[in-house]
A and B are shown apart, each in its own frame.
Chain A
Amino acid sequence: MTSSNWQFDTEKSLVESHGLKLEEFEKIVEGLGREPNLTELGIFSAMWNEHCSYKSSKYWLKKLPTSGERVIQGPGENAGVIDIDDGDVAVFKMESHNHPSFLEPYQGAATGVGGILRDVFTMGARPVANMNALRFGDPNHPKTKHLVSGVVGGIGGYGNCIGIPTVGGEVNFHPSYNGNILVNAMTVGIAKKDKIFYSAAAGIGNPVVYVGSKTGRDGIHGATMASAEFDDDSEEKKPTVQVGDPFTEKLLLEACLELMKEDAIIAIQDMGAAGLTSSSIEMASKGNVGIDINLSKVPMRAANMTAYELMLSESQERMLMVIQPKKEELARSIFKKWDLEFEIIGEVTDTKKLILHMDGEEQASIPINILVEDAPEYQRDYIVNDPSPLINFESKDFEDKDILSDLLKMMSHPNLCSRKWIWEQYDHMVMADTVVRPGSDAAVVRVHGTNKGIAISTDCSPTYCRHNPYEGGKHAVVETWRNIVASGAEPIAITDCMNFGNPEKPEIMGQFVECIRGMGDACSKLNYPVISGNVSLYNETNGEGIYPTPAIGGVGLIRDLSNTMTISLKNEGNVLCLIGENNNHLGNSHYLSIIQNREDGGTPSINLDDELKNGKFILDCVAKKLLKSVHDVGEGGVLVAIAEMCISGMQGIKIDITKDFLHGFFFGEDQARYLVEISKNKLEQIEVDASKSGVKIERIGEIGGTSISINSIGEIELSSLIDHHTKWFNEF
């Protein structure tokens, strides 16, 4: 359809302002057999935007492995579910709140946390841990500090108040996020295997119940806004950002969990993006039924709200449920106890339509299948560019004597410096089950009342993805896997948050396709399936897209918490060893970017067989209680990892090695590597075991003293290292 032969009564500009393509409008008319009214147009706009419909990504997401022996619920529900033994399950998901957080960082981030928490407790799980993955622009960009302060404040403000610990996360800075920051929030909850709640409506005539906060005019078109690029006038979109009320969410959490103990709820769905529209339609679609709603019954915060506004509001802290008719009074009394709204607003029908009434008049009547199954799906054109070429750096390219001053510069850089300033603003200990606090490879939270724990890690290296989306996609998955292994846990499954630019550009779509391919290969090889996730596209401002950022949240299980590992060096006299092969890969490393201001040299490639072999070796050693501390070698390479272990454990080290290419060894970012602390009397046993398993192990140095010293180079006092490491955020 071209603009010249527009043949409908509906104004073309109205269609466009709803983010719908003209051919998509034609499809609506075809499905309905008539033109939609304004309320219906709003509903289609909300359901068919990228954020809710996954229309550009669905085809590719289906290629990811999503099943496994511990997977109870894969993608498609509010959150994924894995079996963690003894009748317990872990429920988790990660979700983006990028666009709103850029417009209004505190509320954007806060409601991001609120939304993901609801996704998890909707499933019947008590949330036990929050994590996040954050990307900001250039540290020196005038907006960066404001955005960091706002986002950290918002995450803390919401999580602290509701009383769920924020146990970790990751933060990166890169100019590609100057106009589009990324705020990805993850929640993990614990439930009983036989008490999981789903969203499929059932039972013709059963009541549809609205609970939680009243509906106001906030957040109207939030999901549509999140499916568009920004430009210079984006500030005007601020009213589409919702306002969070963590206190009400706490009440909603307790009321829902209390009601879930009764046999009352048939189906439950949180009102997140696209509010009442997407929640009611999803429940009806999953149950293959219809839903009638009387909008006059919806609790309203503002006077004279229209059907259009009620259906598109993204007011927070609301839920939709289908309940057993006989349990209505019981349910009402629980919500009343918690001072929350409880209103029967409709019923389940056999029409397979969403029918809305208000003030006695029909406001909308749409067959559910047109909205869901017939939603547009695109196989967008894509181009896969060649990965950035590899550069083989050599010793002669570097002056080896500067290694310690280079280390200081790296440890003080915003991308590698201490995040203590951030995590001290998050209550990371409430619920009294936090075993490993922020700052280690993975956070570990005890399953309440047991001696087992879950390990959680979020990660992604966008620079790797930008220069080689396939290896970058693999890396994001593998990095979380390795972090979980390093904490002594068996990695089980992941959630993903796919943050990309405009998918209508073939090169962006190519990045998406390649990242998915890399992720899929890593997940398959490591038996580490994707069980939930979220896609955020159109992260562009004035035509400039962000770096491809497939953020991954991984979860693992520690059966016996006495096997929990941290990165903190423990005892003087122990020996630090490197596990894994070193190939001096300096391409696209933090060393090049921080010290030489270069972004080239190519993404390191990942050998998944080596990952599996080395990871298994670490877990075997942990089970035999042979290791004192473990740290995955990631961003910044071996020397940065050593420095982190020293700072965390307040122990020095005497490094004694002989290498031809010291910069390559200390700062190269080769994969599948770990640093392990071993007591001297266990050293030979481990070396024999390693050689039997075909795992490379190398002694690096002996723990002790108050400095990091390197033979033939010099030493640096820990106190000086710590000053540099904490300086940037302390001066915030």
Chain B
Amino acid sequence: MESKVFVVTSGKGGVGKTTATANIGTAMAMTGKNVLVIDLDIGLRNLDVVMGLENRVVFTVVDVIKGRCNHKKALIKDRRVDNLFLIPASQIDTKDAINEQEIRELCATLKKEFDYIFIDCPAGIEQGFKNAIAAADEAIVITTPDVSAVRDADRIIGLLDSESISSKLIINRINPELVARGDMLTHDDVTDILSIKLLGLVPLDDSITTSTNRGEFAVTDDSSPAGRAFFRIGQRLNGHQDLPIEVPQVKGGFMKKFRKIISGR
């Protein structure tokens, strides 16, 4: 099977790129694929801490690119999930420390060893973004149902399009109660506006905060609705394209049902 490089990007910061990268990568490793996640948010590294691997960082992606170590030395193997590896970002360099050509060469080498490579892209559209998309075969665009995030996603999709990189969309942090009340953009609104293929819908979920606090993966927790959504996204990327996309629903409960009746939806 041909290995593939995905870039996880959003334009706007704080919409869940790093969480999505960690969880989708983990989901695919759980199904037996050899997965590498690379943090390219140079200077603002976070993927290591989100994955609970921050204490094991010795070498970074910048060390590998600058020839200060072999790439094998920078690989951190996760001890909980088989076949899952991380190459962390450097905290002391800047986005200009590396360039697009260097990333292309690095990914060409790594593609020989991994089935899937996920690149966590920094926010913004400057050099860091250009580096992150340089070697990407496909893009995963994350947005939340907010005007600012959707607008930035549109800009990112345009930029990816001009580089002939196809994108698929994840809408993160959907609050079904606000949607039911008409006070949040629906997933149909967002896909209408952005008109790209939908990859998955992830509900707003407190367990993302708690699992991130602990450096654990939501996707390995069956009781986490967002984790389950990320797992299905992983399966869709892993050849099960037709796996139905579940729309986050308002949970039961008397007051909520009552509210539903009152709001007439």
Chains A and B are bound partners: no
